[in-house]
Structure formats: C-alpha cells, structure tokens
Amino acid sequence: MPLDLEGGSHAGPLFIAQIKRPAKKDLHKSGWARRRIDHQAAPPWADTEEVAAIYRECKRMNKRDGPKSWAVDHIVPLNHPTVCGLHIGVNLQIISYNENQLKSNNWWPDMWMVQCEFNFGE
C-alpha cells in the first residue's frame, strides 16, 4: 500500500515508541518485595520484637518530623558483592532519610576491603 501523506490511508506509524527504562524510584524494591528480602535475611534466632521496635520508633519519628525524615538502615548491607548482613536488631540503625540515600549499598563501618592489601601472584 503506498504511503499517502495527504491524510488518507497510510502504511502505519512512522515512528515506533521505544520501551523506556523505568524511573529510578521504581527500581527500588518496596512493599512486599522488600519485606520478603528482609525476612530471608533474618535468622531463626533473631529477636523479631527488637526489630519491630526499631521500625515503630522510626515511624514515630517520621510522624513527629514529617514523612521521609528518618529511615531504618542496615549497617552491614543485606545485598552486597562482598558482605551479607542480617536483618537483626544490632544491624539496624535509624538515620536521616537523605543520609540513607547517600549511603546506599556502598558503605559500612570499618570497610575491610579498604583496609586490605591484596598481593596476588607473589
């Protein structure tokens, strides 16, 4: 069928929309997917009441200071190429939301990789 540029029938769309990458906020897990990750990282001996108390305190602080003021952070990340933290009370801390976003998954106290010297092939 010939292409008619005068408004009649045409062969189809000239441009096909490309699939766009999801927005960055959509890449982060939230809701049930995030709770599943936390549950899998919690050992059977973990004190679930201690963990729940930390999340309740964070929620209380957010009600006081406004939404997204505070966040519960895993000191040692749950998912990282070199370490695997646990979802337990001693690995949780409440820090500012912005600080948590900056920290992301790339830092924990006393990063052992920074302090190690690797001597391969000697």
36 within a domain of the structure (yes/no): yes
**Could you tell me the residue range of the domain that residue 55 belongs to?**
29-105
88 within a domain of the structure (yes/no): yes
- pLDDT higher at 54 or 104: 54
- pLDDT higher at 109 or 61: 61
Is the alpha carbon torsion for 36, 40, 41, 42 positive or negative? positive
69 within a domain of the structure (yes/no): yes
Domain count, the chain: 1
Residue type, 43: P
Provide the token pair at 56: 């309740």
- Give me the percent of the chain exceeding a pLDDT of 70: 62
pLDDT in tens, 80-102: 777 788 899 999 999 999 998 88
**Do 80 and 49 contact (CB within 8 A), yes or no?**
no
pLDDT in tens, 53-71: 999 999 999 999 998 899 9
Return all residues near 57 (Cβ < 8 A) that are at least 6 apart.
94
User: Is 60 exceeded by the pLDDT of residue 8?
Assistant: no
8 within a domain of the structure (yes/no): no
77 within a domain of the structure (yes/no): yes
